[in-house]
Amino acid sequence: MMKKMINKFLSRRKFINVAKLSFLFLLSSCRNFSEKVNIAFQKQFYPLQFIDLIPNLWHQKAISLNKFSKKSNLEDLKKIDLLLITDGWLNKINFDDFENINPSLLSKLDDRSKTYLSNYDKSKQDKLMPIGINPYVVIIKNNKNYKIDNNNSWDFLFSNDFKGKIILPKSARIVLSIMQRIKNRDLLQNIANQEFIYDDKNSLDLLVNTEAAIAITPFSLSQKYLKIDSRLSIFFPDDGVPLLWNFAMIKSSLNIEEFNNWIDLLSEPKTAKMLVKAGWYLPFQTVTMDQLYSENIKQFSGLNLRPSKKCWDNSWSFPPLNPQEKKELEILGNKLLNPKLSP
């Protein structure tokens, strides 16, 4: 009997996976992708559902931007046609190596994306095509003991319940931006008492396997853990969350029609509906409000809450820093927060 139930479950799961793959195939097959494009990106920043939308003919190259100064990485960059990059790494690249984006593609962007791009010099914003927004989320282990929800402000981070139990992003800028939302605290004196570790790569593994109680991480990276560990739950503070932006940048070697077709695929409403289930929000006008917000939706994909409209309205992005601001951030990160925390 048990064996029959397991087989039935596995068969149903296999059917669902096949259905998803078929849907992805139909989406991409409706477009004419005929060129071999060399596309490079850091795979850990992108959900599998997004990666599956990269045409099969394209060659995927995994890169490590934190080792970008190495000669081998710079040589690899010369061989690519298309680069996917997050906003935090834009200062590592030479914009002169890339071409302007077709204005007709930029016209597909929603107002939030256009506003964010306006923070950059015109010579740079014309070379950046937003392809995704990844909101940070608070993941709590055994929340039944704490009863934290969306109505809580970021002040909850300084609860005695979480002393020495919080996994924070390994970015001084992100941590400081969260601290600025907390009122009436000697923040820099107290954050060290709450921190379990600063980590970007293994935060959820650490949350699951250690005494840590909370991790703050990009939403799309949390999906597989939420599905397999019932102790985990999430929330988006109504005070807002940091937003991680993802861009496409093109080289002169790229077939522009091929790139245009891919952006058209990403901007389709069906694509947005699928990717938002993976915690990935598209920056196009075709994304509808009910795909963004959690109003009247208690659960999402059987598991996950979406950010509320209030949370989206209060969320924040990170414009580029000038040299003086970068220097000040580095001082704060190294001296006041923690030597392990990088700017």
Q: Do domains 35-133+244-291 and 135-242+299-337 have the same CATH topology?
A: yes
Q: Which of 64-73, 78-87, 219-228, 316-325 has the lowest mean pLDDT?
A: 64-73
- Please state, in angstroms and rounded to a whole number, the distance separating the CA atoms of residues 28 and 30: 5
Instruction: Name the band, by pLDDT with cuts 50, 70 and 90, for residue 318.
Output: very high
Mean pLDDT of 138-161: 82
Mean pLDDT of 164-186: 84
pLDDT above 70: residue 207? yes
Residue 243: per-residue pLDDT: 96
Q: Which of 6-20, 42-56, 63-77, 233-247 has the lowest mean pLDDT?
A: 6-20
Mean pLDDT of 306-311: 84
Instruction: Name the band, by pLDDT with cuts 50, 70 and 90, for residue 19.
Output: very low
Domain ranges of the chain: 35-133+244-291, 135-242+299-337
Say if residues 280 and 48 touch (Cβ distance below 8 Å): no
Instruction: Name the band, by pLDDT with cuts 50, 70 and 90, for residue 17.
Output: very low
CATH 3.40.1010.20 fits 135-242+299-337, yes or no: no
Q: Between residues 308 and 295, which one has the greater pLDDT? A: 308
With a CB cutoff of 8 Å and minimum separation 6, the contacts of 66 are none
Architecture in CATH for domain 35-133+244-291 = 3-Layer(aba) Sandwich (3.40)
Maximum separation of any 2 CA atoms in the chain, in Å: 68
* Average pLDDT in the chain: 80
pLDDT tens profile 246-281: 999 999 989 899 999 999 999 998 898 889 888 899
HSE (CB half, 13 Å, CA atoms) of 322?
Answer: 3
Residue 14: per-residue pLDDT: 45
Residue 297: per-residue pLDDT: 45
Q: Which of 41-50, 63-72, 226-235, 249-258 has the lowest mean pLDDT?
A: 63-72
- State pTM to two decimals: 0.83
Q: What share of the chain is helix, strand, coil (3-state, %, to 5)?
A: 45, 15, 40
pLDDT above 90: residue 336? no
Q: Which two tokens stand for residue 96?
A: 């002169």
Instruction: Name the band, by pLDDT with cuts 50, 70 and 90, for residue 149.
Output: low
Q: Is residue 233 within a helix (H) or strand (E), and if so which, with residue range? A: strand 232-235
Residue 262: per-residue pLDDT: 95
HSE (CB half, 13 Å, CA atoms) of 182?
Answer: 17
* Position 5, amino acid: M
